[in-house]
């Protein structure tokens, strides 16, 4: 649906996503976001997260979360190969229409390989433009489709363009979904230049950050290996979003957004 290759809706994709640079200022209207540090602090000093031993303690380790929106797509299997080779977990905010329903085997592989499977709505409609029933339809339809494939409903969602409000928060809470925004973006919807995508991520990388990329654009997946290598060289540990918040837990309806250093 948002493919950048010629004839696959590049103009539509850019139109839908061109406002991404405004996301952080437009998002969270009426909803106060929490940082990963705040989520961890609210949970206290438990050594367990969701009843399981934590893989990493982000209060002590320099963590960063790699996230991908609007897939899966044709390039996602290669991306999964890269993540597997480099032993990096990621969080995938999946789009329902023409993505989850088109690539069910890729959705299953994302889950099976230990990545976090999350919700990015059914058809990428801007949720703040919709009424309550339409918001519920956009989210619940994707919830059901992912559960049918993986056996588990997501607990995280990312609103398209980061736009959220009280109604979106209420419906998200009802559906058991926490809202996850970001602090680092390469604006990869606007370029196929992998070197530029890499540069934008690395220039803005920070501890407890959440990186937003899209595994459906031509320049993105080729940029990922060198992004991973350089951030590891700088001492970062890659985690999923739930790991970033642990021992805190992403609470349904709440908005989570890192602050830059």
* Residues carrying an active site annotation: 69, 214
By three-state DSSP, how is residue 26 classified?
helix
Under a CB-based contact definition with an 8 Å cutoff, are residues 139 and 175 in contact? yes
- The residue to which tokens 């499977």 are assigned: 117
Over its C-alpha atoms, the chain yields an Rg (Å, rounded) of 17
Both tokens of 153, joined, read 């409903």
Q: Are the C-beta atoms of 207 and 62 separated by less than 8 Å?
A: yes
CA distance 153 to 145: 9
Closest to 191 in 3D by CA, of 64, 20, 72 = 20
């Amino acid at each position: 649906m948002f493919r950048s290759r010629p004839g696959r809706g590049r103009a539509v994709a850019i139109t839908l996503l061109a406002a991404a640079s405004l996301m952080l200022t437009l998002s969270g209207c009426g909803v106060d976001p929490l940082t990963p540090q705040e989520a961890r602090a609210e949970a206290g000093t438990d050594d367990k997260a969701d009843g399981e031993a934590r893989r990493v303690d982000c209060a002590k380790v320099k963590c960063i979360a790699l996230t991908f929106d609007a897939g899966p797509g044709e390039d996602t299997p290669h991306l999964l190969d890269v993540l597997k080779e480099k032993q990096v977990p990621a969080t995938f905010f999946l789009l329902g229409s023409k993505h989850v329903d088109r690539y069910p085997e890729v959705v299953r592989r994302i889950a099976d390989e230990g990545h976090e499977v999350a919700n990015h709505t059914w058809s990428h409609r801007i949720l703040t433009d919709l009424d309550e029933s339409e918001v519920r339809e956009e989210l619940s339809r994707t919830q059901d489709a992912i559960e049918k494939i993986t056996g588990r409903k997501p607990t995280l969602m990312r609103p398209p363009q980061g736009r959220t409000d009280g109604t979106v928060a209420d419906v998200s809470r009802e559906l058991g979904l926490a809202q996850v925004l970001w602090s680092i973006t390469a604006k990869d919807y606007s370029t196929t230049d992998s070197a530029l995508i890499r540069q934008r991520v690395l220039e803005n990388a920070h501890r407890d950050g959440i990186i937003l990329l899209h595994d459906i654009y031509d320049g993105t997946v080729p940029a990922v290996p060198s992004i991973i290598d350089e951030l590891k060289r700088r001492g970062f540990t890659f985690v999923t979003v739930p790991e970033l918040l642990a021992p805190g837990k992403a609470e349904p309806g709440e908005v989570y957004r890192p602050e830059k250093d």
